[in-house]
Amino acid sequence: MKRFIYILIILTSFGCTKDFRETNTNPNFPVDVVPSLLLRKVIYNYGEAMSYEGFVAGNLLSQQLTALDFNLFDRHALKSPQLGGNPWAIFYTNLRDNEIILNKARQESIFSVYEGPALIFKAYMTMALTDLFGDVPYSEAFSGDQQTVTPKYDKQQSIYLDEGGILDNLRKGIIAIQNYAGSLPLEGD
């Protein structure tokens, strides 16, 4: 029996392939996404989610509309963002993805065209977030993969006025758009 176990261990250890990482990489789940696709996703996702929050959920809660298939509205038992609940996750998911765009735009010159729009959109989403919730995690909020997963809450005033805040991002975004001298090939060019 011992001999059989030793033979089995030897065979399984030599049975491994050298291209293990390539074999176990899912081609349908990209690890790295180009900023053009990510920016489209952020704009669409944020716009769709917040328009639902503002129009549909607001009209249902004020009983200007009715929905026969959503009984939660009649009881005002709203739990998820898509049911008119807390949009916290919508903000932070899109702000996190927007931060990926900014990092890529700053690291690779080919993506620098996305820095201006990403900064302006970051300011826009952050403005809505802090206007809705007041003091929120901001200065440490998007560095969870490098620093902390429990960021500190920043004061609303500092989110607006400090370096890297809303007004600063708007200014830097406008400057980045004005200073961009390259050309971006459109789809089909």
Split the chain (189 residues) into runs of 10 and give each run's mean pLDDT: 81 65 72 87 87 69 65 60 67 92 92 93 94 91 78 94 95 92 62
- 44, part of any domain: yes
* Within a domain: 158: yes
User: Does residue 189 belong to any structural domain of this protein?
Assistant: no
Q: What's the pLDDT at 60?
A: 67
pLDDT, position 110: 87
Examine residue 30 and state whether it is found in any structural domain, yes or no. no
Task: Give domain status of residue 16, yes or no.
Answer: no
Q: Is residue 14 part of a domain?
A: no
C-alpha–C-alpha distance, residues 129 and 168, integer Å: 16
**For the chain, how many structural domains are there in total?**
1
Domain assignment present for residue 21? The answer is: no
Residue 15 covered by a domain = no
Domain extent, residue 83, equals 35-179
Q: Whole-structure pTM over 0.85, yes or no?
A: no
